[in-house]
């Protein structure tokens, strides 16, 4: 028997790509050899480098014979086409898809096809006027507005939303046989939209990122706070350098902040410059370490370091020297960067919202949370100065991520697939 794993863009590492590659392994384990479908051509061999997952043995069908980095939003509208071609040619038992735009494929259920939808975040919240005021809609969500709020990208967004109803399935609980999502928080948002909650299946820690068995102790670490994620508005690095760090330095003299982030686009580099400017206006000395350079020993002059496009080995090394991981995004759907820090045994401080709070920090049981600047400073200062508290939260970080390893994801998904066959 065969299956399909449909993802709109396989050609770059990200949370969706990790989930779909893991799903392919799970379907194979369940006896359903997967065919990978997508919009643009990609190199499956790269998944070994990115995640330690080998999907190169699976057949690939794409709409376009080239890899294009542009038009990422519009790939949602056409990702169903190569999947349809496979369904028309082969006997496919299961379709795993992590997007909502599969309306033309629902009819194949009458032929025995089982559809599994994985919801990263309900798209309807962003585009449907009914959900204005939620803080997640177009015009309210900072990530959406950063990318699509100004000309000409607002026109690009407008065309997308006008075409979307042609391909958007109506309700996953009617149009799919199994509905999954990444966190309890996202499940709650889905309930608001559809009236039912999906099954929560947390994304896995990739197999090339081992969960440490033991970590350096509190006394072997410095007063370092680490952040990780691409340089963009929703990561709120601007808030960290302008409001949090100036006050944290007063509470914990000598504390330093290191932000690891991807910065390859014009928008991302512009945001880097904004963060540098805000840090300096706040009286902080900031150093930018670009790709190709190495973040050497920290000096007494700088309080903030922005490390662009760093390799994973360097990120891990610094995490092993730090005392806290800070995540500033509000309403983060999952938080893979938080999970990666926890796998290094770092205590985490996250905003009291989103999946990072509900499923990783476990509402305060595993990690520390905050709702405002003062609470964030208090949590970080605690981890910088209280060895007992640090050891407690470090141990809890490791314990939590051992429940979301790659092997456990594969076993759980394979089990869920067998139940719907």
Residues contacting 405, CB < 8 A, separation 6+: 204, 205, 207, 211
Considering the four listed CATH numbers 3.40.50.300, 3.50.50.60, 3.40.1360.10, 3.40.50.2000, the one that applies to the domain covering 2-206+405-420 is: 3.40.50.2000
**Nearest one of 346, 345, 348, 344 to 329, comparing CA atoms:** 348
CB 298 within 8 A of CB 335: no
Same fold, 2-206+405-420 and 218-404: yes
CA–CA separation, 33 and 24 (whole Å): 8
Considering the four listed CATH numbers 3.40.50.2000, 3.40.718.10, 3.30.70.2740, 3.40.50.720, the one that applies to the domain covering 218-404 is: 3.40.50.2000
pTM of the full structure:
0.92
pLDDT in tens, 95-141: 999 999 999 999 999 999 999 999 999 999 988 888 888 777 667 77
Instruction: List average pLDDT for each run of 10 residues in the chain, which is 421 residues long.
Output: 96 92 98 96 94 97 78 85 97 97 98 98 89 76 74 85 93 98 97 97 93 95 96 94 98 97 89 97 96 82 95 92 97 94 97 97 98 98 98 98 97 98 95
pLDDT of amino acid 70: 65
pLDDT in tens, 65-106: 766 666 677 888 999 999 999 999 999 999 999 999 999 999
pLDDT in tens, 175-223: 999 999 999 999 999 999 999 999 999 999 999 988 999 999 999 999 9
pLDDT of amino acid 292: 77
Q: Where are the domains of the chain?
A: 2-206+405-420, 218-404
């Amino acid at each position: 028997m065969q299956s399909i794993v449909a993802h709109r863009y396989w050609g770059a590492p990200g949370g969706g790509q990790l989930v779909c590659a893991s799903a392919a392994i799970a379907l194979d384990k369940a006896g359903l050899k997967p065919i990978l479908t997508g919009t643009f051509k990609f190199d499956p061999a790269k998944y070994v480098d990115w995640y330690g997952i080998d999907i190169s043995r699976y057949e690939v069908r794409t709409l376009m014979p080239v890899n294009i980095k542009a038009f990422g939003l519009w790939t949602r509208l056409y990702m169903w086409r190569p999947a349809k071609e496979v369904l028309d040619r082969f006997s496919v038992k299961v379709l795993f898809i992590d997007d909502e735009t599969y309306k033309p494929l629902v009819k194949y259920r009458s032929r025995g096809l089982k559809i599994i939808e994985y919801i990263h975040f309900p798209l309807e919240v962003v585009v449907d006027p009914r959900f204005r005021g939620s803080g997640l809609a177009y015009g309210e969500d900072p990530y959406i507005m950063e990318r699509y709020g100004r000309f000409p990208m607002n026109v690009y967004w407008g065309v997308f939303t006008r075409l979307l109803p042609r391909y958007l399935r109506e309700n996953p609980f009617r149009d799919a046989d199994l509905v999954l999502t990444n966190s309890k928080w996202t499940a709650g948002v889905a309930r608001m939209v559809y009236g039912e909650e999906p099954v929560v299946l947390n994304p896995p820690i990739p197999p090339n990122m081992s969960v440490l068995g033991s970590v350096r102790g509190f006394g072997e670490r410095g007063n370092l706070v680490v952040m990780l994620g691409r340089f963009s508005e929703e990561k709120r690095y601007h808030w960290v350098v302008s409001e949090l760090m100036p006050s944290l330095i007063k509470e914990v003299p000598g504390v330093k902040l290191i932000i690891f982030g991807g910065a390859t686009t014009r928008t991302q580099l512009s945001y880097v410059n904004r963060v540098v400017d805000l840090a300096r206006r706040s009286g902080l000395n900031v150093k930018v370490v670009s790709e190709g350079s190495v973040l050497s020993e920290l000096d007494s002059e700088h309080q903030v370091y922005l490390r662009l496009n760093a390799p994973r080995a360097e990120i891990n090394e610094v995490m092993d020297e730090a005392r806290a991981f800070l995540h500033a995004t509000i309403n983060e759907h999952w938080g893979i960067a938080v999970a990666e820090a926890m796998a290094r045994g770092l205590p985490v401080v996250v905003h009291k919202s989103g999946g990072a709070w509900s499923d990783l920090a476990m509402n305060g049981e595993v990690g520390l949370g905050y709702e405002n600047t003062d609470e964030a400073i208090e949590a970080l200062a605690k981890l910088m100065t209280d060895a007992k508290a640090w050891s407690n939260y470090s141990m809890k970080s490791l314990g939590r991520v051992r429940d979301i390893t790659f092997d456990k994801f594969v076993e759980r998904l394979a089990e869920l697939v067998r139940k719907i066959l």
